[in-house]
A and B are shown apart, each in its own frame.
Chain A
Amino acid sequence: MLSSIRILEICDEAGFLAGKILGDLGADVVKVEAPGGDLVGRRPPYLGGIRDPERSLAWLALNTSKRGVTLDPESSPGRAVLQRLLDQTDVLLDTFAPGTLDAWGLGWDAMQRQYPRLVRCAITPFGQTGPHAQLRARDLVVVAMGGNASMTGDPDRPPLRCTLPTSYYHAAPEAVLGVLMALQARETSGRGQLVDVSLHECQLGTLLGGPGLYGNSPRPPRRSGARSGRTREIWLARDGYVSFGLRGGPARVAGLRAMVAWMSESGAAPAWLCNYDWEQFSPATLDDVALARLEAALGSFFASKTMRELYAGALERRILLAPCNDAREILAHPQLRDRAFFTTLEYPEFGAAIEHPAFFAKAGGLRVGIRRRAPRIGEHNDEVYRALGLEREEIAKLAAEGVL
C-alpha cells in the first residue's frame, strides 16, 4: 500500500537514508540529482578503488530502492519539469538550505497553494526558522552542538563524534516518521503539510533525557572514555576490544559470579577472586588499590582470549559482555545470518556483487526490505519523464541543453 505513495527526493547525503527507508518500505522514490550526477553524494571510496561516481560506495549503500533521474532545477526549463514532477508527487523530501525554494517562488505558502495535498519534508541542520537556521553545519558541527560530543571521548583529548555521520542516521528515521504522520493526517484533512526536521534537534534524542537529568546540576558529568564512572567498560581482548561493565547492584551479581566461575575454570582466577563478595561490591566506594587489583585480574583474562571466544563464553553463561565488532565480524554474525539479514545485490556492469543489510524489521504485512539496487546516473530519465507526458524528442532536447 505504501507502494502507491510517490516520493520525490532532492537530497544531499543528510537525506539519503531517509529516502532509502521510504523506498525499502515500498514507496516509489524518485531521486533527483544534478545532470552528471550528485558529485557530493557520489563521494569516495569507490568500488575497486576506481574513481567513478557510479562506483561510490556511500551512494550504492544509501540509495537502494530508489529510481534515479537527473534534472537541473535551477534552470527555467528544469523548474518547469520540477513543477510537473511535483504534480504527481505525494512527498517532496529535500535538504535545501532554508530559503532556497522561496527564491524559486516555491516557498511553503506558494507550494501549498499550488499542490495542496503535497507533504514537504525538509531536512536541514537547525530547522527552517530561528536564530541558527542559516548556520552552516555538517555532521561534526551538528553532533557538537547537539551535546553528544561533549560526553563522548577520553577526558584528556577533544570531544568526539562517530567516524560515520550518525547525526544523519538519527534524523532519517525521524524524518520518515514525520512524513508518515503527515500522510496519516492527510487521510482525513485532504491536505499536506510541512515536516520541518532539524538534524540538531534529532541529535538531542541521543542523550536520552540528559539535559533534564544533568542540565541543572552544578557540575554535569563529563566524557569518561573507556570507563563509566570509576570502572572500566571497554577492555582489550587478544584481537580487539570487548564491552563489559564492571558495575555493581543486584542485577549484576549473577553475571559477575558467572564471569569469575569461567575464569576459575580456565585457571585464571586468583584465590581471593573466587571468594569475592559481589553482593557487597560497590564501585563508588571501593578503594583504588582494590579496584586496580580487580581490573588487573579481569583484564589479563580478557587479553588472553579473542573477541569471539569471549562472546561465545558470554552467550553460554549469560554474561553481559559484547565484542566491539568491526564490519567483517558483523557480516559473519551467526545471529544476523540466521535471520537472513544480508542480501547480495549484483552490479553486472562492474562484475561485482555486494552484500547489504537487507531490512530494518521483519513484519507480517509491511514488506520491509531492499527492492532494487541504487540507480545509475539518470537511469530512469526515460521511464519517469515519459510517464510525465514528455515526448522522446523533448527529453533528448532537454538532455542536450544540460537540463536533464
Chain B
Amino acid sequence: MGESGVYAGLRILELGAGAAGAVATRYFAEQGATVIRVESAVRPDFLRLSHARAGEPVDLDAAPMFALLNPDKWSVSIDLRKPAGVDLVLRLADWADVVAQNFAPGAMDKLGLGPAQLLARKPALIVVTSALFGQTGPQRHYPGFGGQGSAIAGFNHLTGWPDREALGPYATITDSLSPRYVALLIAAALLERSRGGAGQHIDVSQIETGVYSLSEFVVRYSANGESVVRAGNREAGAAPHGVYPCAGEDAWIAIEVASDGEWQALVAAMGAPSWAREPRFATAAGRVAHQHDLDAHLAAWTRESGAYLLMAQLQEAGVPAGVVQHLNELLQDPQLAHRRHFMSLDHEVLGVLPYERSGFRLSASPGGFDDSGPLLGEDNDTVLGEILGLSAAEIEQLLVDDVIA
C-alpha cells in the first residue's frame, strides 16, 4: 500500500514459519507497513514446501499457500546459522519498530536474537513472540502445530457429532485465531508507544488465545461442573437449528430458528404444510423435544430446492438461512465481491491468485495490497543495500560466504 494506510512508515521485522506468524503481520502490510521476512533456503519456511510432492524437486517459490498468506511483504534470505547472518538480523532489528517471531521458545535466544537481547539493544522495540504454549512453563518445548493446539485448547472436543469423534473445525483454528490476537497486541503496543509508552516484549501462547476465546466453556465447567460436549449443529433451546440437504451434490442450507416468530415465518415460507401445523411444533420447547421428527420433515422439504434459491426465499420470509458455501463458491460470493475481499495479484511463478483481505474496512483508510507474496530473497538487494547501506562488494562477499542463502 506504499504511502497510504494507517501504518505507512511502520517497520516490521518478521522471523518465523507457518501461518500463525504470517497472518498476524499481514494486517499491517494491508495498512501500509513495510514488513520484512527473514527466511532462508537452507531451512525454508515449511509453507514454502506445502505444495511439494514426494520424489519431485521442490521449487520454494511455487507454494501458493505461502504466497497467499504473505502479500506485500519483502523477503530477505539469510542463513541464521552463520554469525554474520545473525549480525544482519540485529541490524535489521535496529531498523525495525516491531519484531515478530514465532519460532520455538528459546531458539532465537540461543542465537542472541531473543526478546530480552533485542530489547537490551533497542529499548523502544516492540517484540512479539507467538508460540503454541508461550515462552514459559514446563511444556513450552512441546513440539506441536495448529492441529495439536486446536485439540489441547478444546475446539476438537466441541466440534463433531455427539455419537462420534471429536473433530475440530477445518484448518486448525489456533493458526487462524491466535494471529488476530498477536495483531491487536502489536496495534495496542504501537498506540501506547505513540502516546509516550516504551518498548516491550509480548508473549503470546496460541493455546491461551484459544482458551480465552472459549471463556464460556471454561466458566460453565468451573461454575456448574457442566462439561459442554459437541452437539452437531444444535443450539440449546432453539429448533430447527441445523444444516439441511438441498438439491444437487453435497448441497446444503443452514437454518437457525430461535424464536416462535422465526418458526412461523418458516412455516409460512413452506406453504404451511399440515405437519408443520401440528401443536407439538408450536412452541420452542415442543420443537426441541421433537427435533428428530422436525429435522426429518424439514429435510424432506429443503431437498426439493436449490440451495441459493431456498436461501433467498427463506431470507425474504425473515428466516435466518444460508448456503453452506464450498471454497470455490466463495470466489463468486457477491457480498465478498462488494467488499473487494479478494484482490487479484500476479506472482512471477504462480500467476494471478486471489489474495484475501481482513474482515473489516476502515472508512477513511481503505488499505489493500499491491504485490503478491515474495519470492525467496526477492528483496535482498533492497534490504541489504538501501536499508542496511551495504556496498555491492559487501553484498557479494555475503553471497560468496553463503550468509545470503
Whether the pair A331, B330 counts as a contact (CB closer than 8 A) is no
Complex-state Cα separation, A335 to B137, whole angstroms: 6
Chain B residues with Cβ under 8 A from A194's Cβ? 362-363
Whether the pair B327, A147 counts as a contact (CB closer than 8 A) is yes
Whether the pair A341, B165 counts as a contact (CB closer than 8 A) is no
Complex-state Cα separation, A44 to B223, whole angstroms: 13
Least CB distance from B44 to A in Å reads 12
Chain A residues with Cβ under 8 A from B31's Cβ? 181
* Segment of B77-85, B212-220, B382-390 engaged in the interface with chain A: B212-220
Whether the pair B156, A135 counts as a contact (CB closer than 8 A) is no
Least CB distance from B382 to A in Å reads 26
Binding site for A on B (CB under 8 A): 6-7, 19, 23, 27, 31, 46, 54, 64-65, 68-69, 133-134, 136-140, 142-145, 147-161, 164-173, 175-177, 180-181, 183-185, 187-192, 194-205, 207-209, 211-224, 226-237, 241-245, 250, 252-254, 256, 258, 315, 318-331, 333-336, 338-339, 341-342, 353-365
A223 within 8 A of B: yes
Whether the pair A1, B223 counts as a contact (CB closer than 8 A) is no
Whether the pair A145, B147 counts as a contact (CB closer than 8 A) is no
Given contacts A185-B6, A208-B19, A360-B212, contact A242 B362 (CB under 8 A): no
A194-B363, A215-B354, A335-B140 known; 15 new pairs, CB 8 Å cut-off, are A20-B215, A47-B223, A57-B224, A108-B363, A130-B334, A162-B155, A162-B158, A184-B187, A205-B176, A226-B165, A234-B168, A326-B229, A330-B152, A334-B139, A354-B222
Cβ contacts A to B, 20 pairs, < 8 Å: A127-B335, A150-B252, A150-B325, A158-B324, A162-B155, A162-B169, A163-B232, A178-B360, A181-B365, A202-B360, A220-B326, A234-B156, A243-B148, A245-B147, A321-B148, A324-B151, A330-B218, A335-B139, A356-B222, A364-B202
Chain A residues with Cβ under 8 A from B176's Cβ? 170, 205-208
Complex-state Cα separation, A198 to B233, whole angstroms: 22
A38 within 8 A of B: no
Complex-state Cα separation, A135 to B355, whole angstroms: 26
Given contacts A142-B322, A160-B232, contact A2 B359 (CB under 8 A): no
Chain A residues with Cβ under 8 A from B158's Cβ? 162-164
Given contacts A159-B252, A191-B364, A323-B151, contact A153 B191 (CB under 8 A): no
Least CB distance from B217 to A in Å reads 5
Chain B residues with Cβ under 8 A from A213's Cβ? 64-65, 68, 327
Closest A residue to B202 by beta carbon equals A363
Chain A residues with Cβ under 8 A from B360's Cβ? 174-175, 177-178, 195-198, 201-202
What mask results when residues 208 to 242 of chain A are scored 1 for a CB within 8 Å of chain B, else 0? 11111111110011110110000001101000111
Whether the pair A357, B215 counts as a contact (CB closer than 8 A) is yes
| A24-40 CB contacts (< 8 Å) to partner B | 25
Whether the pair B359, A198 counts as a contact (CB closer than 8 A) is yes
Complex-state Cα separation, A325 to B359, whole angstroms: 29
Pick from A207, A248, A331, A339: contact of B170, CB under 8 Å: A207
Given contacts A339-B205, A362-B203, A364-B202, contact A61 B219 (CB under 8 A): yes
Closest B residue to A27 by beta carbon equals B188
A85 within 8 A of B: no
Given contacts A211-B356, A361-B204, A366-B192, contact A47 B224 (CB under 8 A): yes
A92 within 8 A of B: no
Complex-state Cα separation, A162 to B31, whole angstroms: 31
Whether the pair B362, A149 counts as a contact (CB closer than 8 A) is no
A-side interface mostly: mixed
Chain A residues with Cβ under 8 A from B165's Cβ? 225-226, 234, 236, 241
A355 within 8 A of B: yes
Closest B residue to A335 by beta carbon equals B139
Whether the pair A183, B252 counts as a contact (CB closer than 8 A) is no
B-side interface mostly: mixed
Given contacts A151-B327, A243-B151, A338-B138, contact A331 B54 (CB under 8 A): no
Least CB distance from B384 to A in Å reads 29
Chain B residues with Cβ under 8 A from A324's Cβ? 151, 156-157, 166, 168
Closest B residue to A169 by beta carbon equals B213
Complex-state Cα separation, A194 to B184, whole angstroms: 17
Whether the pair B327, A362 counts as a contact (CB closer than 8 A) is no
Closest A residue to B139 by beta carbon equals A335
Whether the pair B335, A180 counts as a contact (CB closer than 8 A) is no
Pick from B170, B184, B204, B214: contact of A223, CB under 8 Å: B170
Chain B residues with Cβ under 8 A from A348's Cβ? none
A389 within 8 A of B: no
Chain A residues with Cβ under 8 A from B152's Cβ? 322-323, 325, 330, 333
What mask results when residues 242 to 267 of chain A are scored 1 for a CB within 8 Å of chain B, else 0? 11010011010000000000000000
Pick from B137, B169, B237, B339: contact of A148, CB under 8 Å: B169
A204 within 8 A of B: yes
Which of B158, B318, B324, B361 is most buried by chain A, counting CB atoms within 10 A of its CB? B324
Whether the pair B227, A182 counts as a contact (CB closer than 8 A) is no
A7 within 8 A of B: no
Closest B residue to A347 by beta carbon equals B223
Chain A residues with Cβ under 8 A from B151's Cβ? 242-243, 322-325
Closest B residue to A362 by beta carbon equals B203
Whether the pair A322, B144 counts as a contact (CB closer than 8 A) is yes
Whether the pair A160, B356 counts as a contact (CB closer than 8 A) is no
Pick from B164, B224, B242, B323: contact of A49, CB under 8 Å: B224
Complex-state Cα separation, A194 to B366, whole angstroms: 11
Whether the pair A157, B203 counts as a contact (CB closer than 8 A) is no
Chain A residues with Cβ under 8 A from B185's Cβ? 361, 363, 366, 368
A76 within 8 A of B: no
Closest A residue to B326 by beta carbon equals A150
A172 within 8 A of B: yes
Whether the pair B233, A158 counts as a contact (CB closer than 8 A) is yes
Complex-state Cα separation, A325 to B65, whole angstroms: 29
Whether the pair A336, B211 counts as a contact (CB closer than 8 A) is yes
Chain B residues with Cβ under 8 A from A159's Cβ? 243, 252, 324
Least CB distance from B346 to A in Å reads 13
Pick from B7, B175, B223, B359: contact of A201, CB under 8 Å: B359
A171 within 8 A of B: yes
Complex-state Cα separation, A212 to B171, whole angstroms: 14
Whether the pair B160, A153 counts as a contact (CB closer than 8 A) is yes
When A and B form their complex, which 8 residue pairs have the shortest distance between CB atoms, in order from nearest? A202-B359, A130-B338, A327-B221, A364-B200, A151-B170, A144-B254, A209-B68, A141-B322
Whether the pair B208, A215 counts as a contact (CB closer than 8 A) is no
Complex-state Cα separation, A270 to B198, whole angstroms: 59
Given contacts A136-B319, A177-B184, contact A212 B353 (CB under 8 A): yes
Least CB distance from A149 to B in Å reads 5
Given contacts A338-B137, A359-B212, A361-B181, contact A163 B226 (CB under 8 A): no
Chain B residues with Cβ under 8 A from A196's Cβ? 360-363
Chain B residues with Cβ under 8 A from A43's Cβ? 237
| A102-130 CB contacts (< 8 Å) to partner B | 108, 126-127, 129-130
Whether the pair A327, B228 counts as a contact (CB closer than 8 A) is yes
